[in-house]
Structure 1
Amino acid sequence: MSDQKLKVIPLGGLGEFGMNCMAIRYGDDIIVVDAGMMFPDAELLGVDIVTPDFAYLEENKEFVRALVLTHGHEDHIGGIPFLLSQLNIPIYGTAFTLALVERRLEEHEMLDEARLHRVKPGQKIELGPFHVEFVHVTHSIVSCVALAITTPLGVIIHTGDFKVDPTPTDNVLFDLHTLAEYGKRGVLLLLSDSTNVDRPGYTASERAVLPRFEEIFNRAERRVVVACFSSSIHRLQQILDLAATVGRKVAFIGRSMLSATEIAHNLGLLTIPDNLLLRPQDIMSVAPHKVVCVVSGTQGEPMSAMSRVAVDNHKSLSLERGDVVVHSARIIPGNEKAIGRMMNHIARRGAEVVAGSMNPPIHVSGHGSQEELKLLLNLIRPRYFVPIHGEYWQMSKHAALASHLRSYGLEDTFILETGQTLEIDRHGARKGEKVTVGRICIDSGSIDEIVEDMVIRDRRHLSEDGFVIPIIAIDKHTGKCEGLPEIVSRGFVSMEERSELMASARQVVLRTLETSSNEERTDWGVMQEKIRADLKRFLNKQTQRRPLIMPVILEV
């Protein structure tokens, strides 16, 4: 056995949802598994997306061999343009996953330089000391793989996102056989998805939604509008097949929906019956009982297609009384209010909303429940186990789920958080030193528009206390104030309070000017700081609030 250490370095996705990214290092060789993003929480004002801080990879860029992708969801591929802007490494993934990556790289004008390598389930590649086999798994998006990474110290299995679907719509089963074979030969470390660890039993098959859709399609007297994730190709296939059976035409609406269906169709992953598709611009001219619209924007995103349809602001579709709108997607935590508002707008148009949990279901999860997580643990029987993809409490629960394996060779379970490394050598495994990790906040999706922590702090400050701008005109020859200072405020105090308070504030600024020396008055930097300090003290005393104060001095 080698004296080199094997290190597992989570750069995102452990102890949080989204931003999935993990580096695996052996000696001076590193491979990266996934490079995702997440959408910001309410505190990150004005931020569009959040990616991991790839500083560790940039510091070690001469050692990074490749980026290996498990599947094409945004929380696994959304950070790729930002990673490639720092180090251009080869990328390995299935055809559908790479097609989604290509679209993203095209938006950032980075596709020409990217080195993309297509792989198929069952294929093996060699990346320095790492031998990676791609193992087919089932999930809510097509072409997903787990990774069996053979290292000089043993095999690491990284499940990616998965559920064990016994009846997938494309009839391509989860490759449990290959994982069981690895389990027989011995697995050093298992990294397994923890998303649904709190759900007992098994996650329902993708086919479980069909009875509910059949019921809706058969009883609806007018249009059926289905809001679902554009990446749910299995769901889209069932909708297409069912529409053909009941004699309805299908129109796809939304940029991501059109893009995903085009990619899936070109790769042979989505079969569209002849004469079934309807152009969006023809929806309103076809008899309503003959139409199904499939729309992107399930999370109530402000400018998404479904949000625009809900407020009757979409060029192709206008909801009418008697239409049925089906929300066939999970509610991502944090989006409850936006989705609720969207559904209220839909109901105001007189349409029926079908959403929430029901039996048969209108939506099923893409992540395995407790029995599936146990099944994988029992098949693989690793020496060490690290739960991944989830909040700390979920990973902790997943670790407890594995405790029964201690009599079958499981030596230890580690609950890691982003930045906390795991070291393995011939003596065993232990937590290693932490690496510097963080998150990069990005405005409007551009690589160039990284938002600093200070900017977010200022935005939070503005949102809570508003701002005050004292405007002072000073004679550049005499250094004297020309007239009373003007004070502009927004988001600070109400109109009734403003006049009296601002009159007093003007006097404070005037007093500051009068008590300053001629020398100070000709140094704008000094004067701005003095005015800011005096005004801050006065306003805080009067209102117990701390608005952002930005003095403006005009030379006249």
Structure 2
Amino acid sequence: MTTFASNVHRIQQVIQATERAKRKLVVVGKSMVRVITIATRLGYIDAPKDIFIDVDQIGKYRDEQLTILTTGSQGEPMSALTRMAKGAHRQISITEYDTVIIAASAIPGNERSVSAIIDKLHRIGAEVVYGQAKVHASGHGSQEELKLMLNLMKPKYFVPIHGEFRMQHAHRDLAIHTGTAPENIFLVDKGEVVEFTNGQARKTGKVPSGNVLIDGLGVGDVGNIVLRDRRLLSQDGILVVVVTLNKKTGEFVSGPNIISRGFVYVRESEKLLEDANELVSVILKKCVSENVNEWSSLKSNVREGLSRFLFEKTKRRPMILPIIMEV
């Protein structure tokens, strides 16, 4: 069974159903464990203490004696349900004898990942109960409920949050319908600031916001330029051009040698790479004859000439890294 970890009422229903079926409940997923721990301590969840067992104890029980409550209702790549569906979870494996209940609707934008998880579960042979089985009612208030809230609160200022912009816009229209002044309603994007001072509200600029990229041990240290380079590498690959020049005479000592990775298969593109090799030689000889001997200029000429040639031949633009050494 998977649902939103924040849906405490649904978690309580799972506990009650598990108790009636005389099963043990295994909670998997950090956010689910954290919510249940806090909600139980605060009295929002009522559960017999002996109903919970640790995931390491599931081997002591038959399948029909267990309920597994897990995270992953939105098909998150690293969630427990996704790892189970891929057969990558260390302790739990889903089989064709299992029933998986997805008590959550797909958040806009997550439809593809949720659909992929459902497909994987069906491939295993499990019975999957979701969406059309009406196992999930929306956690969002309907228009009449929102109107009731607005009529009870009678807000001077109103800032609709959560959901897509179109939903916030519809919420704004409801607020106007119930008497809130249009100029006192703020539709804000991420990072925009609404400041309240002495009972008055106004928009006052933006604060930094957006995705924080985690790459290995680095947090937020991967910028747009690095991401652009990675995108280019993933699309058209890379060519490394290695040339060695005589420092005194400017003549070639060795090369040019072209190394291709992710661009073309060398054995099937020998003619293309030979022509590219010859072109690099022509470009460098021309530069030497014109007394162009700065490394940056040499590299730039090689990069531009080779890029045009390869695009004409392949309609692809690999990343080109000229390496010029002097001896």
State the TM-score, normalizing by the size of structure 1: 0.52
Report what 2:171 is aligned to.
398
For the residues of structure 2 that align with 1:236 and 1:526, how far apart are their CA atoms? 66
CA offsets 1:89-126 (integer angstroms, 9 cap, x no match): xxxxxxxxxxxxxxxxxxxxxxxxxxxxxxxxxxxxxx
1:246 maps to 2:17: no
Residues 5 and 35, structure 2, Cα contact 8 Å, conserved in 1: yes
Q: Percent identity?
A: 36
State the TM-score, normalizing by the size of structure 2: 0.83
Aligned to 1:370, which of 115, 119, 143? 143
Report what 2:51 is aligned to.
276
Report what 1:255 is aligned to.
30
SS in 2 for 1:371: helix
Report what 1:317 is aligned to.
92
1:306 maps to 2:114: no
The residue identity in structure 2 corresponding to 1:370 is: Q
1:507 maps to 2:282: no
1:343 maps to 2:118: yes
For the residues of structure 1 that align with 2:27 and 2:199, how far apart are their CA atoms? 57
Residues 215 and 222, structure 2, Cα contact 8 Å, conserved in 1: no
Residues 233 and 318, structure 2, Cα contact 8 Å, conserved in 1: yes
Residues 193 and 207, structure 2, Cα contact 8 Å, conserved in 1: no
The residue identity in structure 1 corresponding to 2:19 is: A
Residues 470 and 552, structure 1, Cα contact 8 Å, conserved in 2: yes
1:485 maps to 2:260: no
What's the offset of the Cα at 1:363?
2.1
What's the offset of the Cα at 1:277?
1.9
SS in 1 for 2:51: coil
Larger strand fraction of residues:
1
Q: Which has the larger radius of gyration?
A: 2
Structure 2 stretches lacking a partner, 5+ long: none
Residues 299 and 339, structure 1, Cα contact 8 Å, conserved in 2: yes
Residues 192 and 207, structure 2, Cα contact 8 Å, conserved in 1: no
CA offsets 1:42-76 (integer angstroms, 9 cap, x no match): xxxxxxxxxxxxxxxxxxxxxxxxxxxxxxxxxxx
Report what 1:294 is aligned to.
69
What's the offset of the Cα at 1:351?
0.9
The residue identity in structure 2 corresponding to 1:480 is: E
Residue 305 to residue 543, structure 1, CA distance change in 2 (3 Å): same
What's the offset of the Cα at 1:375?
1.2
Residues 468 and 550, structure 1, Cα contact 8 Å, conserved in 2: yes
Alignment of 1:150-549 (within 5 A): 226-358=1-133, 361-406=134-179, 410=181, 412-418=183-189, 434-435=205-206, 437-444=208-215, 448-476=219-247, 478-493=249-264, 498-517=269-288, 520-521=292-293, 523-549=294-320
What's the offset of the Cα at 1:535?
1.7
Larger helix fraction of residues:
2
Residue 350 to residue 555, structure 1, CA distance change in 2 (3 Å): farther
What's the offset of the Cα at 1:516?
1.9
Alignment of 1:65-214 (within 5 A): none
For the residues of structure 1 that align with 2:5 and 2:297, how far apart are their CA atoms? 56
CA offsets 1:371-426 (integer angstroms, 9 cap, x no match): 122112212223443433343322222222233234xx636354533366667889
For the residues of structure 2 that align with 1:229 and 1:422, how far apart are their CA atoms? 29
The residue identity in structure 2 corresponding to 1:366 is: G
For the residues of structure 1 that align with 2:166 and 2:102, how far apart are their CA atoms? 29
Residue 482 to residue 383, structure 1, CA distance change in 2 (3 Å): same
Q: Which has the higher contact order (CA 8 A, sep 6+)?
A: 1
Residues 385 and 412, structure 1, Cα contact 8 Å, conserved in 2: no
For the residues of structure 1 that align with 2:301 and 2:265, how far apart are their CA atoms? 26
Report what 1:6 is aligned to.
none
For the residues of structure 2 that align with 1:417 and 1:440, how far apart are their CA atoms? 17
Residue 445 to residue 263, structure 1, CA distance change in 2 (3 Å): farther
CA root-mean-square deviation:
3.3
Residues 297 and 307, structure 1, Cα contact 8 Å, conserved in 2: yes
